[in-house]
Structure 1
């Protein structure tokens, strides 16, 4: 990795196969490969359709896509400002500790600044010590006063 430039760029439709690969690698890393329901067709609509629901930053080295950050915009009524929700941050194992995650997070911070965001939020698994150390190193505050809540699948269905 030494001496090789990391390029961070917005994903486009041609990147869908690489995005799918990284989603599967991230799910495998998280121990929940069976929960991936994404398809190339769904990603094409949701990420690159008329009204994108989310955005993807890709990290490349020598033309190889090696990492991603997926995000969407949120709004804080307390701050009366938009924010960013970082959904996934993933770097292929052989490229970790080579500043790729830092480069992705730097670009995300730049986007937040450009859009006038008040904050960037995300979750990290309590068992992901490497991730926690990385986030603390880049200046993130870990907030333990809240718990993630979720309604999914049938829980969303209203009768």
Structure 2
């Protein structure tokens, strides 16, 4: 098994979508999950600029991990930031440092785009995720509370 980390291309849309669905089940929002492979293709590869970018982990021809992100172009530091929206690795491939490789690829992308920060959220019940991010050297930001306004 040889894992390749690369930026997603349009043909990956149908291969990334099942991981997005698995993440929705894992994070308990499958009842409101409205993404389809067609939406992935349109939003990520046909729009200019795209709504999101994606880095994938590939084993042969199978996508086994994904990291979805977008840019926050305007920040108080006068440098863009990256917001990581989704990180997911197929359960059969966990424990092989694929998530770590995806995060390092995102960090390189942030450096190339002159970003000052990578931001994300993690569910408080996701202890394995929290431990993973802390092992990478990430810090919990307790300065801000997350709010939502459902429309």
TM-score bracket for the superposition, by shorter chain length: over 0.9
- Name the SS of the counterpart of 1:80 in structure 2: coil
8 Å CA contact retained: 2:56, 2:67? yes
TM superposition score normalised by structure 1:
0.89
8 Å CA contact retained: 1:75, 1:83? yes
Which position in structure 2 is the counterpart of 1:102? 100
Map 1:63-82 onto structure 2 (within 5 A). 63-82=61-80
- Could you list the structure 1 runs, at least 4 aligned residues long, displaced by more than 6 angstroms after superposition: none
Per the TM alignment, residue 41 of structure 1 is displaced from its structure 2 partner at its CA by 2.2
Which position in structure 1 is the counterpart of 2:39? 42
8 Å CA contact retained: 2:68, 2:84? yes
1:150 aligns with 2:128: no
8 Å CA contact retained: 1:11, 1:56? yes
Per the TM alignment, residue 77 of structure 1 is displaced from its structure 2 partner at its CA by 2.8
Mapped partners of 1:103, 1:58: distance in 2: 10
Higher mean C-alpha deviation, range 51-60 or range 69-78: 69-78
8 Å CA contact retained: 1:6, 1:103? no
Mapped partners of 1:17, 1:77: distance in 2: 33
Q: Unmatched 5+ residue regions in structure 1?
A: 155-159
Bigger Rg, which one: 1
Q: CA distance change for structure 1 residues 76 and 136 in 2, over 3 Å: closer, same or farther? A: farther
Per the TM alignment, residue 58 of structure 1 is displaced from its structure 2 partner at its CA by 0.7
- Residue correspondences, number: 150
Mapped partners of 1:76, 1:43: distance in 2: 25
Q: Unmatched 5+ residue regions in structure 2?
A: none
